[in-house]
């Protein structure tokens, strides 16, 4: 796969969701399943859809590993957590490697900018996993 950078106003930026989506939908090599999934996911809440897709990707990493003869599950890939915002009406969440948890310590939610996603208590309770 190649990554295309788009010039916008003198700054180099990655292609937008819309640009990438059009590329996939117009590509005859893209599967019908993928095209259908992209289209149907647009009816969902974007955060809910992103979370489900993250789970699906993780699930299929595991399914693929189990399908490969002689392969053992990679412990690295099992060490993932989901952090989420508890503010009413926000619902922001992120699937990430547990090693990155300290990066979020005492930071506010990137979506609603209120609350602390990972507080001291969270750091203590997950200390054994880090």
What's the rounded Cα separation, in Å, for the pair 55 and 57? 5
**37 part of the interface to Zn ion, by CB under 5 A:** no
**117 part of the interface to Zn ion, by CB under 5 A:** no
Q: Which of 39-47, 49-57, 70-78, 85-93 is the region at the interface with Zn ion (rule: CB under 5 A)?
A: 85-93
* Tally of CA atoms within 13 A in the half-sphere of 130 that contains its CB: 11
**31 part of the interface to Zn ion, by CB under 5 A:** no
Identify which of residues 93 and 126 has a Cβ nearer to Zn ion in the complex: 93
What's the rounded Cα separation, in Å, for the pair 95 and 85? 12
Figure out which of the listed residues 111, 120, 125, 129 binds Zn ion, where binding follows CB under 5 A: 111
Identify which of residues 87 and 122 has a Cβ nearer to Zn ion in the complex: 87
Identify which of residues 40 and 111 has a Cβ nearer to Zn ion in the complex: 111
Greatest extent of the chain over all pairs of C-alpha atoms, in Å: 51
Contact predicate 74/61, CB 8 Å = no
Report in angstroms how near the CB of residue 75 gets to Zn ion at its nearest. 31
**40 part of the interface to Zn ion, by CB under 5 A:** no
Give one DSSP letter per residue of 42-85, joined into a string: TTS-HHHHHHHHHHHHHHHHHHHHHHSTT----HHHH-EEEEE-
Write out the residues near Zn ion by the rule CB under 5 A: 85, 87, 90, 92, 109, 111-112
């Amino acid at each position: 796969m190649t990554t295309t950078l788009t010039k916008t106003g003198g700054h180099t930026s990655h292609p937008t969701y819309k640009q990438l989506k059009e590329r996939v939908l117009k590509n005859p090599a893209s599967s019908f399943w993928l095209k259908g999934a992209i289209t149907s996911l647009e009816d969902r809440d974007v955060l809910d859809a992103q979370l489900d897709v993250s789970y699906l990707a993780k699930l299929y990493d595991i399914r693929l590993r189990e399908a490969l003869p002689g392969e053992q599950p990679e412990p690295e890939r099992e060490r993932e957590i989901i952090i989420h915002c508890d503010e009413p009406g926000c619902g922001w969440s992120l699937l990430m490697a547990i090693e990155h948890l300290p990066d979020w310590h005492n930071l506010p939610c990137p979506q609603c900018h209120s609350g602390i996603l990972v507080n001291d208590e969270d750091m203590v309770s997950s200390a054994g996993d880090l």
